[in-house]
C-alpha cells in the first residue's frame, strides 16, 4: 500500500529463498496470494542493513517470535526512527506488550507506536475500505503514523492509549477462538453475540487494569477488531476455534513457518490468562479457551462451564 503511493518501502522476508521467490513472482503466494506487489517495492532478507537506513520500521512478526527476530538487528535500528508494531499479542513469560518488549531491546530514543484495528491483510492489500487506529504515547508521533498510513481506502484514527490498543489486539484473538468454537458446535447466532459481548467486557476489564482507557475497548482496536475476528471468514483465530470444535488440536508451539500463517490467539490464550491472573482480572472466556487448548478440556465442556457460572449483574 505504501509502495503504491510512491513511498520508498522495503519488505523484509526471513529467508533469502523466500525473498527471491517473491522478487521473481512479484507476489507473496504464502500470505497474500493473488495480490500483485508493486515493482517499486524492494524485497530483501537483510534486515540489519535495511534497519540502518530506515526512517520507519513496521514490525509484523508473530508475538511468540518477535523478540528473537528483532534482537539480532536491534543495534542497527536508528535512534531517531519510528518503530511501529502491527503485531497483536502479549509476549509469553515476560507478559509484555510488543511496544514494551521493543523498548527493552531497541536503542534509547526510538519513537514507538502501534497500529491496530479491524483490517484483514488480504482486504487492505486489495484496497478495500478499512479503518484502523494508530497509537503512541506522544500525540505527535501518533499523528505521524496516522498520516503515513491514511490513504484513499484506509482511514486511520489517532490515539495516545498505547496500552489499551495493544491489550485489545491481544485479547480479541482469544475471544475469536471461543466464537469459532461456538460456531463449530452449531450453537447459533445468539450464542456468538453473547461471546462477543461478554468477551468485550473481559477486554474492558483487562484494559482498565493494565493502564488503558475503557473507551479504547469500545473503538476500532477493541469492539471493531473483535467483531471482525469473531465473524469474518478470513479470521485465522476463528478458524482455530472451528477446528477445536471439530476435535482437531492446533499446534500449541507453532514454528515460524514461511508457509503457515499463525493464529495469534493460540499462544496468547496462555499469556493473556497469565496477565489476567497477575492483574487480578476475571476473564472466564479467556480462561475456558486456555483450558481447552492447554489442559485438554472438551469444547462442549467449555460451553457448559460458562453457562453454569453463578448469576450476576451485567455491570
Q: What is the pLDDT of residue 315?
A: 84
132-188 tens-digit pLDDT: 999 999 999 999 999 999 999 999 999 999 999 999 999 999 999 999 999 999 999
In a domain, 44, yes or no: yes
Q: d(Cα 118, Cα 129) in Å, to the nearest integer?
A: 11
Please indicate, yes or no, whether residues 140 and 180 belong to a single structural domain of this protein: no
Q: What is the pLDDT of residue 196?
A: 97
Please indicate, yes or no, whether residues 80 and 107 belong to a single structural domain of this protein: yes
Mean confidence (pLDDT) of the chain: 94
Catalytic site residue from 172, 213, 277, 312 = 172
Q: In sequence order, which residues have a C-beta less than 8 Å from that of residue 31 and are 6 or more positions away?
A: 121, 261
Q: d(Cα 103, Cα 37) in Å, to the nearest integer?
A: 31
Q: How many structural domains does the chain have?
A: 2
For residue 311, what is the DSSP state? P
For residue 42, what is the DSSP state? E
Please indicate, yes or no, whether residues 151 and 167 belong to a single structural domain of this protein: no
96-137 tens-digit pLDDT: 999 999 999 999 989 999 999 999 999 999 999 999 999 999
Please indicate, yes or no, whether residues 8 and 156 belong to a single structural domain of this protein: yes
Q: What is the pLDDT of residue 258?
A: 46
Q: Structural domain of residue 274, as residue ranges?
A: 163-307
**Strand ranges for the chain from DSSP E:** 10-12, 42-44, 56-59, 82-85, 111-116, 130-135, 154-159
In a domain, 313, yes or no: no
Please indicate, yes or no, whether residues 63 and 90 belong to a single structural domain of this protein: yes
In a domain, 77, yes or no: yes
Q: What percent of the chain has pLDDT over 90?
A: 88
Q: Name which residue leads in pLDDT, 302 or 82.
A: 82
Please indicate, yes or no, whether residues 209 and 137 belong to a single structural domain of this protein: no
Residue 141 has a CB neighbour count (10 Å cut-off) of 19
In the block, which residue shows the cell 489517532?
158
Q: d(Cα 255, Cα 236) in Å, to the nearest integer?
A: 16
What Cα–Cα distance (Å) separates residue 115 from each residue in 29, 119, 145, 174?
Answer: 24, 10, 8, 19
Q: d(Cα 130, Cα 124) in Å, to the nearest integer?
A: 7
Please indicate, yes or no, whether residues 139 and 11 belong to a single structural domain of this protein: yes
CATH of the domain at 33: 3.40.50.720
* Region 207-229 average pLDDT: 98
In a domain, 108, yes or no: yes
Strands 130-135 and 154-159, by their bridges, are parallel
Do the Cβ atoms of 73 and 47 come closer than 8 Å? Answer: yes
Please indicate, yes or no, whether residues 120 and 234 belong to a single structural domain of this protein: no
29-33: which pairs have CB atoms within 8 A and are 24 or more residues apart? 30/258, 30/259, 30/261, 31/121, 31/261, 32/121, 32/122, 32/125
In a domain, 188, yes or no: yes
Do the Cβ atoms of 87 and 59 come closer than 8 Å? Answer: yes
In a domain, 292, yes or no: yes
Q: Which of 144, 161, 178 is the last residue of a domain?
A: 161
Q: d(Cα 304, Cα 128) in Å, to the nearest integer?
A: 39
Please indicate, yes or no, whether residues 248 and 220 belong to a single structural domain of this protein: yes
CATH of the domain at 296: 1.10.1040.10
Q: What is the pLDDT of residue 35?
A: 96
Q: d(Cα 124, Cα 114) in Å, to the nearest integer?
A: 17
Please indicate, yes or no, whether residues 78 and 11 belong to a single structural domain of this protein: yes
Q: Which of 114, 130, 161 is the last residue of a domain?
A: 161
Residue 123 has a CB neighbour count (10 Å cut-off) of 16
Which pLDDT band, with edges at 50, 70 and 90, does 253 fall under? Answer: low
172 is catalytic: yes
C-alpha torsion sign, points 226, 228, 233, 234:
negative
Q: Which of 98, 128, 161 is the last residue of a domain?
A: 161
265-297 tens-digit pLDDT: 999 999 999 999 999 999 999 999 999 999 999
In a domain, 314, yes or no: no
In a domain, 212, yes or no: yes
Please indicate, yes or no, whether residues 129 and 275 belong to a single structural domain of this protein: no
Work out the burial of residue 32: count CB atoms within 10 Å of its CB; fewer than 13 is exposed, 13-18 middle, 19 or more buried.
Answer: middle
Q: What is the pLDDT of residue 92?
A: 94
Which pLDDT band, with edges at 50, 70 and 90, does 259 fall under? Answer: low
Q: What percent of the chain has pLDDT over 70?
A: 97
Note the pTM of the prediction, 2 decimals.
0.94
Q: d(Cα 180, Cα 240) in Å, to the nearest integer?
A: 7
What would the grid cell of residue 4 be?
503504491
* Region 31-45 average pLDDT: 95
Please indicate, yes or no, whether residues 95 and 169 belong to a single structural domain of this protein: no
Q: 3-state class of 12 per DSSP?
A: strand
Residue 182 has a CB neighbour count (10 Å cut-off) of 28
Amino acid at each position: 500500500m505504501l509502495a503504491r503511493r510512491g513511498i520508498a518501502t522495503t519488505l523484509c522476508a526471513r529467508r533469502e529463498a523466500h525473498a527471491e521467490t517473491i522478487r521473481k513472482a512479484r507476489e507473496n503466494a504464502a500470505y497474500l496470494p493473488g495480490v500483485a506487489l508493486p515493482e517499486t517495492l524492494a524485497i530483501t532478507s537483510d534486515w540489519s542493513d535495511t534497519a540502518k537506513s530506515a526512517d520507519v520500521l513496521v514490525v509484523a512478526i508473530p508475538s511468540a517470535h518477535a523478540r528473537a527476530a528483532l534482537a539480532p538487528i536491534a543495534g542497527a535500528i536508528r535512534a531517531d526512527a519510528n518503530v511501529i508494531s502491527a503485531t497483536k499479542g502479549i509476549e509469553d513469560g515476560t507478559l509484555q506488550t510488543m511496544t514494551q518488549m521493543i523498548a527493552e531491546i531497541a536503542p534509547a530514543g526510538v519513537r514507538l507506536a502501534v497500529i491496530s484495528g479491524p483490517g484483514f491483510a488480504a482486504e487492505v492489500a486489495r484496497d478495500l475500505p478499512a479503518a484502523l487506529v494508530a497509537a503512541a504515547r506522544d500525540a505527535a508521533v501518533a499523528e505521524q503514523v496516522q498520516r503515513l498510513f491514511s490513504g484513499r481506502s484506509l482511514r486511520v484514527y489517532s490515539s495516545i492509549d498505547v496500552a489499551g490498543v495493544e491489550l485489545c489486539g491481544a485479547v480479541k484473538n482469544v475471544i475469536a477462538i471461543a466464537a469459532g468454537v461456538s460456531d463449530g458446535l452449531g450453537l447459533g447466532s445468539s450464542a456468538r453475540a453473547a461471546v462477543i459481548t461478554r468477551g468485550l467486557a473481559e477486554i474492558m476489564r483487562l484494559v482498565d487494569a493494565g493502564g488503558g482507557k475503557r473507551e479504547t475497548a469500545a473503538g476500532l482496536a477493541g469492539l471493531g477488531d473483535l467483531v471482525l475476528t469473531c465473524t469474518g471468514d478470513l479470521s485465522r483465530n476463528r478458524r482455530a476455534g472451528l477446528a477445536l470444535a471439530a476435535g482437531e488440536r492446533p499446534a500449541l508451539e507453532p514454528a515460524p513457518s514461511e508457509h503457515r500463517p499463525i493464529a495469534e490467539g493460540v499462544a496468547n490464550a496462555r499469556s493473556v490468562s497469565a496477565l489476567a491472573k497477575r492483574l487480578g482480572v476475571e476473564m472466564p472466556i479467556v480462561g475456558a479457551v486456555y483450558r481447552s487448548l492447554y489442559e485438554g478440556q472438551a469444547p462442549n465442556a467449555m460451553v457448559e462451564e460458562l453457562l453454569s457460572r453463578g448469576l450476576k449483574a451485567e455491570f
